[in-house]
Amino acid sequence: MTSQIRKIHDMLVSKEISCVELTKKYLAEIENSNKELNAYITVTPDVALAQAKAVDEKIARGEEIGLLEGIPMTLKDNISTKGIETTCASKILTGYKPIYDATVYELLQEQGVVMLGKTNMDEFAMGSSCETSYYGGAKNPHNTGYVSGGSSGGVATAVGASLAVYGLGSDTGGSIRQPASFCGIVGLKPTYGAVSRYGLIAYASSFDQIGPITQSVEDAAIVFDAIAKYDEKDSTSQGGEATLPTLENDIKGKKIGIANQYLNGVREDVKEAVLSAAKQYEDMGAEIIYFDLPELDFALPSYYILAMAEASSNLGRYDGIRYGYKAEHYNGTHDMICRTRSEGFGKEVQRRILMGTYVLSAGYYDAYYKKAVNLRGAIVEAFDRAFEKVDVILAPTAPVTAFENGYLFSDETDQIEQYLSDICTVPVNTAGLPAVSVPCGVDEKGLPIGMQLIGKKFDEKTILNLAYRYEQAVDNFKETKWGVKL
Amino acid sequence: MVTREDIENIALLSKLFVDEKDLDKLTEEMQKIVEFADTINKVEVKTGEFDNINNLSNVFRKDEVRESLPVEEILKNAPEQAEDHFLVRKRA
Amino acid sequence: MKYELVAGFETHVELQTKTKIFCSCTTAFGGDPNTHCCPVCIGLPGTLPKLNEKVVEYAIMAGLATDCEIAGIAKMDRKNYCYPDLPKAYQISQYDKPLCEHGHITLSNGRQIRILRIHIEEDAGKLIHNHGDTFVDYNRGGVPLIEIVTEPDFRSVDEAKEYVERLQQIMRYIGVSDCRMQEGSMRCDVNISVRPEGSEKLGTRTEIKNMNSITNIAKAMEYEYERQVDLIESGGAVVQETLRYDDATNTTSSMRSKEDAHDYRYFREPDLVTIAVPRERVEEIRQSLPELPAQKFKRYTEEFEIPEKDAEKLTKYRAIAEYFDEAAKDLKAPKTAANFILGQIFRRLETEADKEAFLVKTSAAQLNEMCKMLESGKLKNNLAKTALEKMLDSGDPVTKFVSESDMAGLDDNTLTEYCQNAINAMPNAVADYKGGKEKALMALLGNVMKQSRGRADAGAVKEKLKELIG
């Protein structure tokens, strides 16, 4: 797959198409297919067309435009946009229009972004299929009988179905990589701290990270380089290192680790696809090193304990007083707050709030929260040790391909199974590492399989370099029937 | 073992109502999640020190005033307001 | 049986930084509702806190001024509870790694009140209840606080009162807070228990929240002491609970409602990073601290031999003490300057606020100049008082009101002449004196003083009169 951003950039510069025409094409396709795909929660034609017009005027004046200028894109609906409804796909934030912009959106506006709208997600990013959305799940563009993945399902559907050139999602336990993998596209979860979280509505603050979802690796690199900036508003922000200059570097001699534990419980065809990618890397001159990472066995429960604990605190503020939904009927303030929250939050969100409260409450704190923090330290150290031996770690993005619609919430499915489906993605968030998911095949139903390359902290350039070289050698991108054809 | 009382207590702390009819099902669900969480107590590893994810310290802001937002902006999303205040009416 | 009072304090002090603890909104008191607010301090989703460096510095100053140890590593935690005045449903505070620990304040009776800890945190907004409706104003939300927690070391209401005064005095001296209880920039929670005198075991305690004057603290403590003693004496037991004090009825009542479950679920604030305080930084701050009231008091009483009562007045406010220090500079008897300040100058400062502000037209340097002239004999004692009054009225230096000849006193010829005049004019007084009435000499002295317009030195006049009368 080649860079769609460069392709469109060249079309705009050569005046093959105007930015307004381009934007209208995307808006028209969204109009056509959103009912079926449910990718967008809010479409913003006025905003997009005004932004496009400004780009056209700039081009008409003969001024140079940047790579991202005029490229139609979308934001996950947990990224704050001033004056534009931002719902987190929750009833509790219906009608909420932030009075400020998230730093990433500010950065993109400075670069002449065209923002088509806000995309669907699991409610408050809590889910792996996009189905906990108050608005219903986004569908997989490769087969609408299947989910887009989650939580950034809407972005993945929109980008996979060419209803946006790229999108920004957020990844707390796999929410960028897993839907990118399910939809057959590229998703980059940056190092914790590389991209500002200011304006990202928090799920679990010490794990959350914004990143790009794109059709090509180069596009992911372009977008990452544009948003990985130090932000004084975010105390945990550090900014990132540019990835584009080294994207095409030779990968000869690179050491790619495969942790045996990452392959446990992974469906056979997925495992095969990942291992054949490893073979491809070997052919390109990289070295494959198998090793053990036993700490992965407790990464999942410790992640859920910590993420739910932080979430229970982060979601305390939705009380019907300052913004969002407020219960109609109540008796007194306490009753109003409880009713607002019980009516406004969906079932999964309520479960996680309760569980998070439980693990922090007196008598349970030491056994759960404190222990999980210590295990987090052990996982960080385990990855540090691994990276003394290897440059990157290769792993499946998910143990399976996209679920059938409704599967995770059917009566036969154990709720824990939903959590278990995040087994491959969460360790990266636990350790704050960067990882990129790229398509590496399809299953027998034609659903995409994804693999991820995990890097050292702030070493996005190495994982993107390796992902790029693989993509250039084996193009697994499959166009869908949807969206804008250029 | 998660009890109904546990659920009632954490629901109160979480400011969530749990319907009497849902209580048993929720208790059962929570028990499963707790069992899942409990798997961490089966591992015996030398636990690592964890401070913050990138071991950052001393990130401060200068004590310099910037203009606040106009009250209309602050109250823009308020479900109810009066006299430049956020408002929770008593109702009944 | 006699019962001993046991009490401890948790005091919230608002820091006088320009901006709030986690955002750049002003901390100015008052202001129209919700006009000192931004997305951060009303807790909009997605906003993040950024710690004000001044808050850390002020807290360390407060810690050093109360003899605390300053932590090398501190962190911020979330204290979770849901209430409409708390926009995030958690207060960012410090739980197990506060900035300062293990300090103390010494009371005038010599007892030390141990300070367990001082930590930083954010204030909540303000709720106005009106017929069941609740109005919320977040101007105060996010204003920085330090919470100063003592051990249960108080044994009397007087000790408690003195502690609060001392705390106010110290915080004002170091300039971290104005500690105005009526404006809410200092608020006290007191926990109280009683036990039979001689017993070592602590009784069950109650906590009285949010008191906003020293008078109320004293009255509430007295009431609560009596209530607990009565309860125990009548065979009842004290229930551990949180109380509010109603000054209108002078009673305490329970604040507990079934809606508040108390379990704050503290955990590390993930949006903020570690606070590391290098030793050098602590020393730097220590060096920057002004001399504290206790140190000044010691110096005044021991080195200057100023009576304790006067030293207390001089050290009460930093402005007075600094004025005095400058006025007393290089004096043989610093007490002279103290007496002028506590006498003539204090008479012009009617209220406590006036004394605290200590706005006086005469500069400390001018008072110092005057005191030095007195010590060198250039200025006579009896002239000083009038001169100072004029100085205080005008702001002019002493030299403006005392002429060269005044400063030089009277030469011997003039003195002899004035004395002879008096003897001639008052033969009866001379006769009385000769007849053994010592007092008669005073009448003659008055006459000489009148002639000299007060310039004559009383001692010298008396000597001269005795000499002339023979």
Whether residues C401 and C428 share a domain: the answer is: no
User: Does residue A478 sit within a domain?
Assistant: no
pLDDT band at C258 (very low <50, low <70, confident <90, very high): low
User: Does residue B62 sit within a domain?
Assistant: no
A338 and B34: CB-CB below 8 Å?
A: no
Identify whether the C-beta of residue C70 lies closer than 8 Å to the C-beta of residue C99: yes
Whether residues C266 and C402 share a domain: the answer is: no
A475–chain B nearest CA distance, Å: 35
Q: Which domain holds residue A412?
A: 4-257+385-473
Whether residues C230 and C257 share a domain: the answer is: yes
- Neighbouring C-beta atoms of residue A79, cutoff 10 Å: 28
**C33 vs B contacts (CB less than 8 Å):** 71, 83-85
Helical ranges in A315-370 per DSSP H: 333-344, 347-360
C131 and B87: CB-CB below 8 Å?
A: no
Q: Which of A18, A80, A128, A175 is catalytic?
A: A175
C24 and B65: CB-CB below 8 Å?
A: yes
Of A329, A375, A432, which has the smallest distance from its Cβ to B40's Cβ? Answer: A375
Whether residues C330 and C251 share a domain: the answer is: no
User: What distance in Å separates the CA atoms of residue A433 and residue A392, rounded to the nearest whole number?
Assistant: 11
Any idea what the Cα angle at residue C297 is, between residues C292 and C302, rounded to 5°?
Answer: 130
R_g of chain C, CA atoms, integer Å: 31
User: Does residue B76 sit within a domain?
Assistant: no
DSSP tag of C342: I
**C176 vs B contacts (CB less than 8 Å):** none
Any idea what the Cα angle at residue C416 is, between residues C413 and C418, rounded to 5°?
Answer: 110
What angle, rounded to 10 degrees, do the helices at C293-302 and C157-173 form?
A: 100
H or E segment and range at residue A295: none
Sign of torsion, CA A306 A307 A310 A312? negative
pLDDT band at C261 (very low <50, low <70, confident <90, very high): low
Whether residues C64 and C111 share a domain: the answer is: yes
pLDDT band at C435 (very low <50, low <70, confident <90, very high): confident
The question of whether A189 is a catalytic residue gets the answer no
Distance of CA B25 to the CA centre of its chain: 22
**B59 vs A contacts (CB less than 8 Å):** 235-236
- Neighbouring C-beta atoms of residue C195, cutoff 10 Å: 17
Q: Which domain holds residue C230?
A: 3-283
Q: In the prediction, which pLDDT does B19 show?
A: 86
B63 and C131: CB-CB below 8 Å?
A: no
Among candidates A58, A113, A59, A55, which has minimal Cα distance to A84?
A: A113
- Residue type (1 letter), C316: K
* Lookup: tokens for A385: 């040790």
Which of these ranges, A112-116, B44-48, C383-387, has the smallest mean pLDDT? Answer: B44-48
User: Does residue A95 sit within a domain?
Assistant: yes
Whether residues C180 and C65 share a domain: the answer is: yes
Any idea what the Cα angle at residue A184 is, between residues A181 and A187, rounded to 5°?
Answer: 50
**φ and ψ at B36, to 5 degrees?**
-60, -45
- For the cut 70, the answer to whether the pLDDT of residue C58 exceeds it is yes
**C281 vs B contacts (CB less than 8 Å):** none
What's the order of all strands across the beta sheet hosting C144-150?
C69-70, C100-106, C112-122, C144-150, C3-14, C186-196, C206-211, C242-246, C251-254
The question of whether A76 is a catalytic residue gets the answer yes
- Give every CB contact of residue B21 below 8 A, 6+ residues apart in sequence: none
Identify whether the C-beta of residue A136 lies closer than 8 Å to the C-beta of residue A129: no
- Tokens 């408050």: give the residue: A124
On the question of a cis peptide bond just before residue A151, with omega within 30 degrees of 0, the verdict is yes
B53 CB within 8 Å of a chain A CB: yes
User: What distance in Å separates the CA atoms of residue A24 and residue A30, rounded to the nearest whole number?
Assistant: 10
Q: Which of A18, A58, A76, A118 is catalytic?
A: A76
CB half-sphere exposure, A137, CA atoms < 13 A = 28
**B45 vs A contacts (CB less than 8 Å):** 295, 298, 375, 378
Whether residues C143 and C250 share a domain: the answer is: yes
Of B32, B43, B50, which has the smallest distance from its Cβ to A373's Cβ? Answer: B50
User: What distance in Å separates the CA atoms of residue A159 and residue A169, rounded to the nearest whole number?
Assistant: 11
CA dist A201 → A76, A102, A197, A390 (Å) = 10, 9, 8, 35
A322 and C44: CB-CB below 8 Å?
A: yes
C39 and B69: CB-CB below 8 Å?
A: yes
CB half-sphere exposure, C431, CA atoms < 13 A = 4
Q: How do residues C194-233 score in pLDDT, each as one tens digit?
A: 999 999 999 999 999 988 899 999 999 999 999 999 999 9
B88 and C136: CB-CB below 8 Å?
A: yes
Among candidates A369, A433, A426, which has minimal Cα distance to A397?
A: A426
Identify whether the C-beta of residue C80 lies closer than 8 Å to the C-beta of residue B89: no
Q: In the prediction, which pLDDT does C262 show?
A: 77
User: Does residue A59 sit within a domain?
Assistant: yes
Whether residues C432 and C353 share a domain: the answer is: no
- Mean pLDDT over A279-301 rounds to 95
CATH code assigned at C441: 1.10.10.410
Q: Is C137 helix (H, G, I), strand (E, B) or coil?
A: strand
Q: How do residues A209-253 score in pLDDT, each as one tens digit?
A: 999 999 999 999 999 999 999 999 999 999 999 999 999 999 999
pLDDT band at C398 (very low <50, low <70, confident <90, very high): confident
Q: Which of residues 8-37 of B touch A (CB under 8 A)?
A: 9-11, 13-17, 26, 29-30, 32-34, 36-37
User: Does residue A299 sit within a domain?
Assistant: no
B56 CB within 8 Å of a chain C CB: yes
Whether residues C316 and C464 share a domain: the answer is: no
| HEC sequence for B20-46 | HHHHHHHHHHHHHHHHHHHHHHHCCCC
Any idea what the Cα angle at residue B28 is, between residues B24 and B33, rounded to 5°?
Answer: 145
- For the cut 80, the answer to whether the pLDDT of residue C404 exceeds it is no
Q: Is A408 helix (H, G, I), strand (E, B) or coil?
A: helix
The DSSP result for C181-235, as a single string, is: TTTTSEEEEEEEEEEETT--S----EEEEEE--HHHHHHHHHHHHHHHHHHHHTT
Distance of CA B79 to the CA centre of its chain: 21
Length of chain C: 470
- Give every CB contact of residue C412 below 8 A, 6+ residues apart in sequence: none
- For the cut 80, the answer to whether the pLDDT of residue C455 exceeds it is no
Whether residues C237 and C142 share a domain: the answer is: yes
Q: In the prediction, which pLDDT does C408 show?
A: 55
Neighbours of chain B (3+ CB pairs under 8 A): A, C
Burial class (CB in 10 A: 0-12, 13-18, 19+), A15: exposed
- Mean pLDDT over B67-92 rounds to 95
Which of these ranges, A30-39, A114-123, A449-458, C377-386, has the smallest mean pLDDT? Answer: C377-386
Whether residues C197 and C71 share a domain: the answer is: yes
Q: Is A310 helix (H, G, I), strand (E, B) or coil?
A: helix
B45 and A321: CB-CB below 8 Å?
A: no
Identify whether the C-beta of residue A431 lies closer than 8 Å to the C-beta of residue A383: yes
Q: In the prediction, which pLDDT does C405 show?
A: 53
The question of whether A342 is a catalytic residue gets the answer no
**A124 vs C contacts (CB less than 8 Å):** none
Of C53, C75, C259, which has the smallest distance from its Cβ to B61's Cβ? Answer: C53
pLDDT band at C257 (very low <50, low <70, confident <90, very high): low
Of B7, B53, B59, which has the smallest distance from its Cβ to A206's Cβ? Answer: B53
Q: In the prediction, which pLDDT does C260 show?
A: 61
A312–chain B nearest CA distance, Å: 7
User: Does residue A303 sit within a domain?
Assistant: no
User: Does residue B75 sit within a domain?
Assistant: no
CATH code assigned at A446: 3.90.1300.10
Top-confidence residue, C411 or A119:
A119
- C225-244 in b/e burial notation, b at 16+ Cβ within 10 A? bebbbeebeeeeebeeebbe
B70–chain A nearest CA distance, Å: 11
Whether residues C357 and C242 share a domain: the answer is: no
- Residue that is last in its domain, among C354, C379, C407: C407
Q: In the prediction, which pLDDT does A7 show?
A: 98
Burial class (CB in 10 A: 0-12, 13-18, 19+), C420: middle
Sign of torsion, CA A103 A108 A112 A117? negative
- Tokens 């900036």: give the residue: A229
* Lookup: tokens for A183: 């939809």
* Lookup: tokens for C353: 């606020």
Give the best residue of A124, A230, A360, A364 to mutate against chain C (max C CB count within 10 A). Answer: A360
Helical ranges in A75-168 per DSSP H: 103-110, 153-160
Identify whether the C-beta of residue C262 lies closer than 8 Å to the C-beta of residue C277: no
C48 and A310: CB-CB below 8 Å?
A: no
What interface predicted TM-score (ipTM) does this complex get? 0.97
Cβ-based contacts under 8 A for chains B and C:
114
CA dist A200 → A81, A114, A115, A208 (Å) = 10, 19, 16, 8
Give the best residue of C17, C23, C24 to mutate against chain B (max B CB count within 10 A). Answer: C24
A357: closest chain B residue by CA: B10
- Give every CB contact of residue C262 below 8 A, 6+ residues apart in sequence: C81
Residues of C within an 8 Å Cβ radius of B: 17-19, 24-26, 32-39, 42, 50-54, 56, 75, 80, 82, 84, 128, 131-138, 259, 261, 263, 265, 268, 270, 272-276
C18 and B60: CB-CB below 8 Å?
A: no
- As for how many domains chain B has, the answer is 1
- As for how many domains chain A has, the answer is 1
Length of chain A: 486
Among candidates C40, C41, C20, which has minimal Cα distance to C29?
A: C20
User: Does residue B33 sit within a domain?
Assistant: yes
A316 and C89: CB-CB below 8 Å?
A: yes
- Mean pLDDT over C151-159 rounds to 96
- Give every CB contact of residue C222 below 8 A, 6+ residues apart in sequence: C157
**C272 vs A contacts (CB less than 8 Å):** 235
Average pLDDT, chain A: 96
C80 and A316: CB-CB below 8 Å?
A: yes
Among candidates A122, A98, A223, which has minimal Cα distance to A165?
A: A223
User: Does residue B68 sit within a domain?
Assistant: no
Of B14, B29, B92, which has the smallest distance from its Cβ to A357's Cβ? Answer: B14
Top-confidence residue, C152 or C397:
C152
- For the cut 60, the answer to whether the pLDDT of residue C278 exceeds it is yes
Q: Dihedral through CA A65, CA A66, CA A69, CA A71, nearest 10?
A: 120
User: Does residue B82 sit within a domain?
Assistant: no
- As for how many domains chain C has, the answer is 3
Distance of CA C446 to the CA centre of its chain: 45
The DSSP result for A320-334, as a single string, is: SSSSS---SS-SSHH
User: What distance in Å separates the CA atoms of residue C156 and residue C108, rounded to the nearest whole number?
Assistant: 13
Average pLDDT, chain C: 91
A200 and C49: CB-CB below 8 Å?
A: no
User: What distance in Å separates the CA atoms of residue C119 and residue C136, rounded to the nearest whole number?
Assistant: 26
- Give every CB contact of residue C157 below 8 A, 6+ residues apart in sequence: C5, C218, C221, C222, C225
User: Does residue B74 sit within a domain?
Assistant: no
B32 and A414: CB-CB below 8 Å?
A: yes
Q: How do residues C307-361 score in pLDDT, each as one tens digit?
A: 999 999 999 999 999 999 999 999 998 998 999 999 999 999 989 889 888 999 9
Neighbours of chain C (3+ CB pairs under 8 A): A, B
Q: Which of A80, A90, A128, A151 is catalytic?
A: A151
- Give every CB contact of residue C424 below 8 A, 6+ residues apart in sequence: none
Q: In the prediction, which pLDDT does B47 show?
A: 65
- Mean pLDDT over C283-311 rounds to 94
